[in-house]
Every structure is written in structure tokens, then in C-alpha cells.
């Protein structure tokens, strides 16, 4: 009996050893760094207590980063959820060519985010990009997109929506397909309209899946970095400076590693709240 007990623990050991080494240890290291004045260009790194955190929370640029990240979160969810849900409902029906269409629509989310950022530079190019060309064709004037502080964040949102709406669509579609058919049959027998069926049957039945996609997307949006780095580097000014970009610039442009560590920890704590909710839902799903 004891031998059977020890065996399984041994199987888990390599995984746990590596994860302690690559996650727990670096995080403790970064926590201690966040309590030091850690400028890479000077040799001494004195202990300063919470000073990095105080500087962080009084830095208007960090406030701006929180605001930009929050706006990005709301904007992207507002675009991606309805679009993704609509497409999922569309694809849940039978139609000709479905087997080909469905995988094509899922492609964007597999593409390297840096490449997506670069595609954005091509498409939104202000003088001769195809998007402004189409706008002109429809009688609208060209927009400055990522090169103007007013529209840069919107451009990031649109680009990320191209990449991640398929995720919303795919997961919601999988949820729709696995719904039990019986309630639908009886509802139709009772003469319910399709709008009623959607509102009183589909939505409530799909609630767990909806909650799941929204929390998963939110956790990813809060970390947005790659496409912004390529498209705007946080600019113009600080118009697209998310928490991720802010942390990178503070740490690796201004070499203030101590404050970058404190910003990274604040982001990690914010995300862990979301992750807790996510895990609760995963636990419920499985029961």
C-alpha cells in the first residue's frame, strides 16, 4: 500500500520541482527586489521598504496605465463578446461548407501576436494602407489610426478583436452545441418564438460558458503587450501604455528594476483575483 502511495508522488515530483524553480523562486526574488532601490546602472541596491510601491501608486503615468488597461478591457469585451456570440449562433446552424468555414474562422488566434501587430501596421498605414483606401471609397476621410493619440487605443482594440473574436466564437459554439436538445423541443411545441427561446433558454443554459470566456479573455487583455509593442510602443505619448508596456519601459528603458518589480507584483495580484474566480468556475464545470 505504501509503495503505491509513493509511486504517484514520484511521478509529480519533476513537474513540481521545475515549477518551483521557474515560478516560485523568481517571484520571491522579484518580491525582494521590489523592496530595494534597484537601478542596474549603479552597483549598490539599498533596501527602501515600500518606497517603490509608494512611487508607483503616486506616479501619474501608472494611473494612466491603469486607465488605458481598463479602457482596453471594456472596449475589447464590448467588441468581441457580441461579435463572437453572433458568429457562434450563426455557425451553430446547419449550412453548406460549414466544415471548411469553421476552421478558417479560428485561424487568427493561432498567429504570432507580433505578426498580428505588424499586419496592423500594414493595414492601418495612413497614406496608402488598404483600410484608409476603403474608407475613402465609401466617401469617408482617412483616419490617422495608431499614429494619433485619439485613435491609437481603438486601433489596438480592433486588431486584438481580429485575433481574439474567434476564441469567443469557438468556445461559445462548443457550449451551444453541447446544450441538451429536450428543453428546445418542448419550447417549440409550446409555440415559443426564437427570440423567447434565445432569451429564456439559451442564455441561462449558456451562462457558465459565457462567464468562462469573459474571465479568460479579461485575464489575457489585462496583460496585453506584444501587439502594442509592435504597433505603437505605448504611444503616441502614453495613449496606449498598458500596465505591461509601462512595466517594461520602467524596467528595461529606464533600468528602474525595483519599481518595475513592484508594478509586476501589482499586476500579478490583480490577475490572481480573476484567476480565483476562474478556478471556482472550472471546479463547478467539472462537478
Scanning residues 19 to 78, which ones bind other proteins (CB under 8 A)? 19, 22-23, 26-27, 29-30, 33
Q: Is 72 helix (H, G, I), strand (E, B) or coil?
A: helix
Nearest approach in angstroms of CB 109 to other proteins is 7
Cα–Cα nearest to 161, from 225, 245, 217, 236: 217
* Grid cell for residue 267: 499586476
Nearest approach in angstroms of CB 239 to other proteins is 18
Segment contacting other proteins by CB under 8 A, of 58-66, 71-79, 183-191, 275-283: 275-283
Nearest approach in angstroms of CB 98 to other proteins is 9
Nearest approach in angstroms of CB 145 to other proteins is 14
Nearest approach in angstroms of CB 113 to other proteins is 6
* Grid cell for residue 46: 539599498
Nearest approach in angstroms of CB 36 to other proteins is 11
Q: Is 256 helix (H, G, I), strand (E, B) or coil?
A: strand
* Grid cell for residue 98: 460549414
**Residue 185 in contact with other proteins, rule: CB under 8 A:** no
**Residue 154 in contact with other proteins, rule: CB under 8 A:** no
Return the residues of window 84-143 that contact other proteins according to CB under 8 A.
Answer: 86-87, 90-91, 93, 95, 101-119, 121-123, 125, 127-130, 133
Segment contacting other proteins by CB under 8 A, of 53-61, 72-80, 146-154, 260-268: 260-268
CB 116 within 8 A of CB 108: yes
Segment contacting other proteins by CB under 8 A, of 66-74, 144-152, 180-188, 252-260: 252-260
**Distances from the Cα of 45 to the Cα of 39, 77, 130, 182, angstroms:** 7, 42, 51, 67
- The pattern of x and - marking residues 206 through 225 that bind other proteins according to CB under 8 A reads ---x--xx--x--xx-xx-x
Which stretches of the chain are DSSP H helices?
Answer: 2-19, 25-33, 51-57, 60-92, 98-106, 113-123, 130-137, 152-177, 182-189, 194-197, 203-221, 226-231, 243-252, 257-286
Round to whole Å and give the CA distance between 230 and 241.
12
* Grid cell for residue 49: 521598504
Q: Which of 62, 73, 145, 170 binds other proteins (CB under 8 A)?
A: 170
Nearest approach in angstroms of CB 150 to other proteins is 22
Q: Which of 1, 2, 8, 60 binds other proteins (CB under 8 A)?
A: 8
Amino acid at each position: 500500500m505504501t509503495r503505491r502511495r509513493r509511486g504517484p508522488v514520484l511521478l509529480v515530483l519533476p513537474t513540481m520541482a521545475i515549477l518551483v524553480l521557474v515560478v516560485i523562486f523568481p517571484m520571491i526574488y522579484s518580491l525582494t527586489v521590489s523592496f530595494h532601490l534597484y537601478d542596474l546602472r549603479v552597483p549598490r541596491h539599498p533596501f527602501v521598504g515600500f518606497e517603490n510601491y509608494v512611487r508607483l501608486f503616486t506616479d501619474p503615468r501608472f494611473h494612466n496605465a491603469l486607465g488605458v488597461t481598463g479602457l482596453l478591457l471594456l472596449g475589447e469585451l464590448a467588441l468581441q463578446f457580441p461579435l463572437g456570440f453572433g458568429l457562434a449562433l450563426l455557425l451553430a446552424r446547419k449550412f453548406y461548407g460549414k466544415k471548411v468555414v469553421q476552421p478558417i474562422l479560428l485561424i487568427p488566434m493561432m498567429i504570432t501576436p507580433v505578426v498580428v501587430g505588424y499586419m496592423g501596421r500594414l493595414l492601418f498605414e495612413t497614406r496608402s494602407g488598404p483600410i484608409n483606401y476603403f474608407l475613402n471609397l465609401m466617401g469617408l476621410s482617412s483616419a490617422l489610426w495608431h499614429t494619433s493619440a485619439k485613435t491609437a487605443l481603438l486601433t489596438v482594440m480592433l486588431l486584438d478583436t481580429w485575433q481574439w473574436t474567434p476564441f469567443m466564437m469557438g468556445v461559445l459554439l462548443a457550449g451551444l452545441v453541447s446544450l441538451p436538445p429536450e428543453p428546445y423541443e418542448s419550447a417549440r411545441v409550446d409555440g415559443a418564438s426564437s427570440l423567447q427561446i434565445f432569451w429564456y433558454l439559451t442564455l441561462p443554459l449558456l451562462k457558465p460558458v459565457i462567464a468562462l470566456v469573459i474571465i479568460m479573455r479579461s485575464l489575457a487583455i489585462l496583460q496585453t503587450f506584444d501587439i502594442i509593442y509592435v504597433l505603437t510602443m505605448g504611444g503616441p505619448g502614453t495613449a496606449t501604455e498598458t500596465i505591461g508596456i509601462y512595466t517594461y519601459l520602467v524596467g528595461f528603458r529606464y533600468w528602474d528594476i525595483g519599481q518595475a518589480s513592484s508594478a509586476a507584483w501589482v499586476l500579478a495580484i490583480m490577475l490572481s483575483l480573476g484567476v480565483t474566480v476562474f478556478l471556482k468556475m472550472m471546479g463547478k464545470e467539472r462537478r
